[in-house]
Amino acid sequence: MKLIISSLLLSVIGIFVSCSGNEKQYTQIHGYAQGTTYNITYSSAEDLKEEIDSLLNLFNESLSNYSEESVISKVNKAKDSITVTDSLFLAFFALSNTIYTQSDSLFDISVAHLANAWKFGFKQTESMPDSAKIDSILTFTGLNKISLQGTLLVKQDSSIAIISNAIAQGMAVDYISMFLDSKQIENYLVEIGGEVRTKGKNAQDAIWRVGIDLPIEDSTKREIKAVVSLTNSSLATSGNYRKFYISGCKKYSHTINPKTGFPVRHNLLSATIVTNNCGKADAYATTCMVKGLEAAKLFIQEMNINGYLIYEEDGIMKTWMSKETEKLVTQEF
């Protein structure tokens, strides 16, 4: 979900500012990746856009469900097993498997066919699925039906397919952040499709500030609900208020419960997670949206992570945040 980045970010490339008596040059670059936009600001005069775009292309070659030649697409086409030597895919699978266990199997990348059936995947179907269709898909859904033996990925059923969209943008943020770390860049903010990772401070020698969207359905309007201060941490938000459709007077959200096979229906509008790793934050936020309000609160507390939930009660929009998150939220509207 797209976030509104605070006005403290630079709006032009290569502005010089004074920080504790030392001049630092911050560069800001923009582009497109994974069907969305990216915005990156970092404390260096070096133009890294070409290298970053190249890295994002490599990321897509591994984890894009929309490329027939990507590693993930080849895995989905495999009959029963396939040898995977791509390090990005292996990291994606390992992290997804960890959170699958932590979430009591509610975060599940094997829901590709369910997402497609409900028109939220990479291959949409024409007709709405009935209960019999969903029951059929559930027989080959479940990350526990896929195993990784070294670099050999084994599927119990050839029909099993995985989807990366609940974690890929967060992982892409981490991927680009590691590149900036390799360049020994001490201060940066990386944002892809609303998922964010920060390091150090901004051009004003202050902690980076990021705005969390007010959950409204009109995609042409954006309002900030809260401002969060971030330093050396990541933030990701998941929500159902823009990705949905209405059919037969029913509203279907893009978040699917992998146990029931149906889109979730509850009063939780969005979940924002702050943690050290953006891939984790992305997956945890999705997990909260599957769980619903009360279970999401417990999950955030049990995992000892920072969480900010926006929900509706009796027609009124309300918020809940974990204890430690209160220290990060600098402003609410």
- The reply to whether 179 falls in a domain is no
- The reply to whether 57 falls in a domain is no
Whether the model pTM is above 0.75: yes
Number of domains in the chain: 1
Angle at 236 between CA 148 and CA 293, to 5 degrees: 95
- Domain range for residue 90? 67-155
In whole angstroms, give the CA distance from residue 214 to residue 331. Answer: 13
Q: What CATH code is carried by the domain that includes residue 89? A: 1.10.3980.10
Yes or no: say if 4 and 228 are a contact pair by the CB < 8 Å rule. no
**pLDDT value, residue 120:** 86
- The reply to whether 129 falls in a domain is yes
CA dihedral of 157, 96, 105, 36, whole degrees rounded to 10 = -100
**pLDDT value, residue 248:** 52
**pLDDT value, residue 7:** 31
- The reply to whether 304 falls in a domain is no
Q: Write the CB contacts of 108 (distance below 8 Å, at least 6 apart in sequence).
A: 100, 141, 142, 143, 258
Q: Return averaged pLDDT per consecutive 10 residues of the chain, 333 residues in all.
A: 37 33 80 94 97 98 96 96 96 98 98 92 80 96 96 96 96 98 98 96 96 79 90 93 51 82 92 97 97 98 97 94 95 90
**pLDDT value, residue 23:** 56
